[in-house]
C-alpha cells in the first residue's frame, strides 16, 4: 500500500515567489492536513480538509491557502514567499471515524526560500 505521497521532495524559491505543494493521501482517507515544521521544532498545524471542505485553519497568514480535490488529493499554496517560510511542509491523511484512527504523515517537501 502506498503511503502519503508528497511532491516535490525539495524546492528552492526566491523571496516574493509563489509555490504549490502537492499531496496524495492514503487510498480511502478523506481527511488531509498540512503542517509546517521549522528546523528543530515540532510541526505546526496549517490546514485541515475533510470531504473537500476546510475544517480548520491554524495561525498562518492569508498568504497560505489550500484546497482538496474530488479524489481527496490536496494542494498547499504559499504566495509572496518570505525567508521565514523555509521549512519542511508535511501532509498527513486520516481515516476519520467516531473513535479516530490517527494521522499518517508523508515525508514532506523541504522548501528553501532564498
Partner 1 sequence: QQQVKQSPQSLIVQKGGISIINCAYENTAFDYFPWYQQFPGKGPALLIAIRPDVSEKKEGRFTISFNKSAKQFSLHIMDSQPGDSATYFCAASKDFGNEKLTFGTGTRLTIIP
14/53 with CB nearer partner 1: 53
Please give the grid coordinates belonging to residue 68. 482538496
58/73 with CB nearer partner 1: 58
Residues 6+ apart with CB under 8 A from 38: 44, 86, 87, 88
For partner 1, the binding residue among 58, 60, 64, 75 (CB under 8 A) is: 58
Could you say which residues in the range 14-53 bind partner 1, by CB under 8 A? 31, 33, 35, 40-45, 48
Q: Which 3 state secondary structure label does DSSP give 83?
A: helix
95 CB neighbour count, 10 Å cutoff: 16
Nearest distance in Å: CB 75, partner 1: 18
**How far is Cα 35 from Cα 53, in angstroms, rounded to an integer?**
17
Residues that bind partner 1 (CB under 8 A): 4, 31, 33, 35, 40-45, 48, 55-56, 58, 90, 92, 94, 96-108
Amino acid at each position: 500500500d502506498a503511503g502519503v505521497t508528497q511532491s516535490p521532495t525539495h524546492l528552492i524559491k526566491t523571496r516574493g515567489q509563489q509555490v504549490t505543494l502537492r499531496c496524495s493521501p492514503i487510498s480511502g482517507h478523506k481527511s488531509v492536513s498540512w503542517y509546517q515544521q521549522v528546523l528543530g521544532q515540532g510541526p505546526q498545524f496549517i490546514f485541515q480538509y475533510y470531504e473537500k471542505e476546510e475544517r480548520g485553519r491554524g495561525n498562518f497568514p492569508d498568504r497560505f491557502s489550500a484546497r482538496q480535490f474530488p479524489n481527496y488529493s490536496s494542494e498547499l499554496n504559499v504566495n509572496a514567499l518570505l525567508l521565514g517560510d523555509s521549512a519542511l511542509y508535511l501532509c498527513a491523511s486520516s481515516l476519520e471515524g467516531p473513535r479516530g484512527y490517527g494521522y499518517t504523515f508523508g515525508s514532506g517537501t523541504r522548501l528553501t526560500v532564498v
